[in-house]
Structure 1
Amino acid sequence: MNTQPEPELLHSPQRTLSFHAVAKSALDLLYQHRLMTTDQLARLLTPTAHSASYLRRQLVALEEGGLVQRLRAQGKASPGHGFNRPYVWFLTETGADAVEQAAEIFSRRYRVTPESAASTRQAHTLAVNEVGIAFVEHARRLGHDCTPLSWTPEVAHRIRDGQRRFEDDHVISDAVLHYVHVHRGARTMLNVFIELDRATMTAAELAKKVSAYGRLYEFVPQHPDRARRSAASTRPAWQHTYPAFPRLLIVLDGAPGPTLAKRLADRTEDLYTLTRVDPRLSRLASNLSVGVTTLAQLKEHGPFGRIFTPLLRGTPEQRHPLTDMLLRRPAAAAPARHPPAPLPADLHA
């Protein structure tokens, strides 16, 4: 009988994990992130393995056990062959129930079906995963703390009282990401709103969504009984969830092509112009930190590279230079290879 260890795990930090441990981690990731490709799961769970074949065998075993399903990713494959597209994995009803029964991860009501997994939303979900994975991979390199479960997709925040359509009463973040920045032994917890834009909406519509975060910053829920209102009930709603108002990072992506860089640069310029003339955002410019970058730049340079264009600052003639995810004022910026100590508004551990 062959007793040799799996060759691709010889130098992996996961080499001592049992099948059950790695498979359980895969189930947890699929529960929280809804859809993931084999490659995305491998980069998070077995980042130093030589190939994803060991993980594939575990996913197939989970599939045979009725816990996960797979389908081919959407998009154009190589000369008409659908089998060249990567697999996208998601939990079955049984798999989701198994994760919830373990009670080790925050329960979410949303369930993925084969129909929703194959919908036009698939590409957006996978792109949001790429944003989260970029943070995880660069955190590993920098010695920061950002795990495969550190981002939560599609988090709704109420922005007005009333009973209108859900979309009118809430701003829905594509993801909320939690990142622990480590600098000279000091740990600072950062919360970040993520908006992933694949140019499926106009620049004006995207600017309106940025404005909705301004509404979130100011929104104070009305207490039904004014006589019983307390100091806590007069605070903005976000203060009940976050120690400081999260930064908003807008990540642009689009279909590959020779003009992609130019199209994304133009979109950044349009967004800069539109947000500057928004009355609400102008009034809150000193309270909000908003930055724009591209997915390609985020993956290559990481969140502490100088890749973010700050919005709501300066004029078109005197625009502030590129900065990192901390979105500091230029005078406080530091070289990208040695990130500065975080802003005092964040939560220090």
Structure 2
Amino acid sequence: MTRSTSGVPAAELAPSPSEPLRLQILTALALHRMATTGQLRLMLRPHGSRQLISRALNRLRSTGFVGLTPLPDSDRPRTHAWYLTSEGSRATRDLPVLRGRPPYPITSTTAASIKTPHTLTVVRTHLPFAADARRLGHEHGPWDWTPEVAHPLGEGERLIADVVLHYTLVDGEHRRKLRAFVEVDRSTMSSERLAVKLIEYARLFQYEAQPVGRRRPVSAGPVWLRWYPVFPRVLFVLTGASRTRLRDRISDLQGMVAQHPLVTALAREVPLGAVVLEDLEEHGPSGPVWVPLAGGEPRPWTDV
């Protein structure tokens, strides 16, 4: 499989239990930036024990490949998140699943603690998709969830998606490949700033780079076609506030769809949806919990 230098990945197969667990852990931490022991178990060995993952992590820590940082505001003082050290980042630099991805080493517990809340919430969002895929016989694994993927918007600007999701629906001999941009919102920014993300996606949908050196502009087509056969759906996952406040934030996203001409045009072509993270965890992404931003009743993410 090939990858562009922008870091946008092709879908990867889920890890095989026959592969060394320690290598899988290093790969997962390199791709996802950070994870707890429990998250790594659900990601890599959902039917295995926590002790299995803990032993592998402690061996990696003793050799200097991973570090850990306590979780803020945790009720359990021994709960912490794992991340790659500089040595671990160098060891994973040439792994195929990471080809074309820039390294994001975390070199200290201080740096790790700053990134912990958002990074772990992004991993937390991934796990229901993986569990749903296993239950339904679909294809979606740890390497099909790629954080922090950058896309050009022109004039030196970039849109950085929290996640690019690859997912294959399997129904007998029929296979349907889906892709999504996922934005994870912990209610730490204003509702207006969150809604502005939709404008950025609308700009990406329309952006066409012009070949250098031509007197007349000649369109090379939308830039996103370099990486995607169809424009991925855009999904917002919200948490970190009361139900009332989260409903208001979803309403503001719907307002942006209704009022901004670029976003309105995007919504005519691209599915847009939002969900509360706790509902996603309780009912799974295939449950009727996604609010279509263009209007309508809640439904599964595949039908927004």
TM-score calculated relative to the size of structure 1: 0.77
Structure 1: 5+ residue stretches without partners:
1-13, 164-168, 314-319, 329-349
1:206 lines up with 2:201 in the alignment: no
**Contact 1:211-1:275 within 8 A present in 2 as well:** no
Q: Trace 1:281-292 onto structure 2 (pairs within 5 A).
A: 281-292=263-274
Q: Deviations over 1:80-109 (max 9, x none)?
A: xxx625111011111111112444532423
RMSD: 2.1
Equivalent position SS for 1:326: helix
Q: Secondary structure at the match of 1:293?
A: strand
1:311-342 Cα shifts (integer Å, max 9, x gaps): 134xxxxxx111211235xxxxxxxxxxxxxx
Amino acid across the alignment from 1:209: K
In structure 2, distance between residues paired with 1:17 and 1:306 = 36
Cα distance per residue 1:41-73 (max 9 Å; x no partner): 011122112x30121011001100111111111
Letter in 2 for 1:234: A
**Contact preservation (8 Å) 2:97, 2:143:** no
CA shift at 1:262, angstroms? 2.3
The answer for the alignment partner of 1:116 in structure 2 is: 111
Larger radius of gyration: 1
Q: How does 1:10-89 map to 2 (within 5 A)?
A: 17=18, 21-49=20-48, 51-74=49-72, 76-78=73-75, 84-89=77-82
Cα distance in 2, alignment partners of residues 293 and 104 from structure 1: 29
Secondary structure of 1:118's aligned partner: helix
Amino acid corresponding to residue 56 of structure 2 in structure 1 = Q
Within 2, Cα distance between the matches of 1:216 and 1:272?
19
Where 1:285 maps in the other structure, the secondary structure is helix
SS in 1 for 2:303: coil
Describe the superposition over 1:151-176 as per-residue Cα deviations: whole angstroms up to 9, x where unpaired: 1111111112x24xxxxx11111000
Aligned to 1:152: 146
Structure 1 stretch displaced more, 261-270 or 200-209? 261-270
Describe the SS at the equivalent of 1:113: coil
- Structure 2 residue 255 is matched with structure 1 residue 279: no
Matches of 2:16 and 2:181, distance apart in 1: 34
**Contact kept in structure 1, 2:187 and 2:240, CA below 8 Å:** yes
Aligned to 1:223: 211
Deviates more, 1:203-212 or 1:23-32: 203-212
Partner secondary structure for residue 98 of structure 2: coil
Q: Matched residues in 2 for 1:284 and 1:42: separation?
A: 38
> Distance in 2 between the 1:222 and 1:102 partners?
33
The structure 2 residue matched to 1:321, chosen from 276, 290, 297, is 297
Q: CA deviation at 1:228?
A: 9.0
- What is the rounded CA distance, in whole Å, between the counterparts of 1:322 and 1:55 in structure 2? 37
Asked if the contact 1:291/1:327 (under 8 Å) is kept, the reply is no
How much has 1:111 moved relative to structure 2? 1.8
Residue in structure 2 matched with residue 344 of structure 1 by the alignment: none
Higher RCO by CA contacts (8 Å cutoff, separation 6 or greater): 2
Residue type of the alignment partner of 1:46:
R
Instruction: List runs of 5+ in structure 2 lacking aligned partners.
Output: 1-14
- The aligned counterpart of 1:138 is 132
Q: 2:210 touches 2:217 (CA, 8 Å); kept in 1?
A: no
Deviation at 1:206, TM superposition (A): 1.0
Q: Matches of 2:180 and 2:282 in 1, distance apart?
A: 19
Name the CA shift for 1:16/1:178 in 2 (closer, same or farther; >3 Å): closer
Distance 1:283 1:276 in 2: 10
User: Residue 214 of structure 1 contacts residue 288 of structure 1 at CA under 8 Å; is this kept in 2?
Assistant: no
Q: Deviations over 1:181-201 (max 9, x none)?
A: 112321111111000011111
Does structure 2 retain, via aligned residues, the 8 Å contact 1:23–1:58?
yes
**Letter paired with 2:282:** E
Aligned with 2:228 (options 235, 242, 246): 242
What's the % identity of the aligned pairs?
Answer: 35
Answer yes or no: is the 8 Å Cα contact 1:281–1:312 preserved in 2: no
